[in-house]
Each structure stands twice: as C-alpha cells, then as structure tokens.
Amino acid sequence: MNSPNAPPPIERVLFTAEQIDARVREVAAQISADFAGRELKLVAVLKGSVFFLTALARHITVPLRVDFLAISHFTNQPGAPGVVRIAKDLDDAIEGEHVLLVEDIVDTGFTTRYLLQNLAGRGPASLGLCTLLDRTSRRIARTPINYSCFEIPDRFVVGFGLDHKQLYRNLDCIAVIRPE
C-alpha cells in the first residue's frame, strides 16, 4: 500500500477542476433545455459516477430525481470483458419516467450496454446516456451516447470519481497516473 503521506502518482492532468466545472455546466444546460417541461431521473452506478452525478445535478434546472445501483464484474481473464451483475438495484421503478444513465467513463462499452439493456426492459418513457469520459479508442460494444463531457486518450485515468484500487476518487481534476 502507498504511504498515507505520499502524493498521488500523477503523471499529467488532463482536465483541471475549472475545466470540468465549466464543461459540466454546459452539459447540464443542454440537458435542462432538452428536458424542459418534463421531470427527469438521473441513475448512477456506484461508486465512481456519484461524483459526476452530484456535480451535474446541481446545474440541472428541471424537476429531478436521483437513484443508484451497484454492479459487480465477473471475468476469468484480466483485461477481458466479463459478465456484469447488479449487486444493488435501484430503490424505485422507472416505468414511464424520463431516465438518464450517468456514467463516469464508457470504455469498451460492455458495462454501459448491459445497463442500458437492463433499464430499457423496465419500460421508461425515455432512456439516455450521459458520460463524463468517453474513450472511443477501446470501444467494442456499440454504445449510443447522448451527452459526453470529454473524450480521452487510451490512458488509465483517475479523479472526479474514477479510482485506481479504490483510491484517488476525491481528486478534483482528471489525471493520468504513472504506471506502478
């Protein structure tokens, strides 16, 4: 384990707190315009997406509900896409509601595709996807994204909710970390 006093092994900051804040406000304004006159439910996956959801929610102006689910990944090969299972489900039904799935990052797209299929089966009035980060270079599963804050290169990133071994979620920027 890292020494508790060691600074995070940041190699390069991709987006500063100020850049994230400005972009999140833009996307929130777009969402508010698109859902004008309607109620919206933001659904986020624990734990990484919670940081983005709360930032986004504060700048959305339509009546808003939030709900959360947790997933576990099963994979027998490291780096290979595994099976996703819902470990904690939403508290409430989404039937007839306008739902936006809020993701921290869409990478291969497997997680998001599974979640969108699962949520679509519950009969929402509409279902969209809003992601903080989009790493298109590693996409395998086709994933239509309605709102995306930033596209990123093929490097592992942490901060603003994204972790490495559960650490660095609390960084206010998004950064590439040095390989161990």
Give catalytic residue positions. 107
Size of the site for ligand IMP (CB under 6 A): 15
Pairing relation of β-strands 40-46 and 83-88? unpaired
Nearest residue (CB) to ligand IMP, 24 versus 177: 177
52 near ligand IMP, rule: CB under 6 A: no
110 near ligand IMP, rule: CB under 6 A: yes
What is the spatial distance between Cα 175 and Cα 17, in angstroms, rounded to a whole number? 11
The window from 9-17, 26-34, 62-70, 98-106 that contacts ligand IMP (CB under 6 A) reads 98-106
Q: Given candidates 63, 88, 156, 172, which one binds ligand IMP under the rule CB under 6 A? A: 156
- Provide the minimum distance between the beta carbon of 62 and ligand IMP in the complex, in angstroms, as a whole number: 26
Amino acid identity for residue 33 in this structure: A
Tokens 């659904």 sit on residue: 43
Q: Given candidates 51, 56, 104, 131, which one binds ligand IMP under the rule CB under 6 A? A: 104
What is the spatial distance between Cα 148 and Cα 27, in angstroms, rounded to a whole number? 8
What is the spatial distance between Cα 18 and Cα 33, in angstroms, rounded to a whole number? 23
Nearest residue (CB) to ligand IMP, 123 versus 153: 153
**Taking a C-beta distance cutoff of 8 angstroms, is the pair 52, 104 a contact?**
yes
171 near ligand IMP, rule: CB under 6 A: no
Written as six digits, the tokens of 165 are 């071994």
151: nearest Cα among 174, 167, 171: 174
Q: Given candidates 15, 24, 31, 48, which one binds ligand IMP under the rule CB under 6 A? A: 48
**Given the rule CB under 6 A, which residues bind ligand IMP?**
48, 104-112, 156-158, 162-163
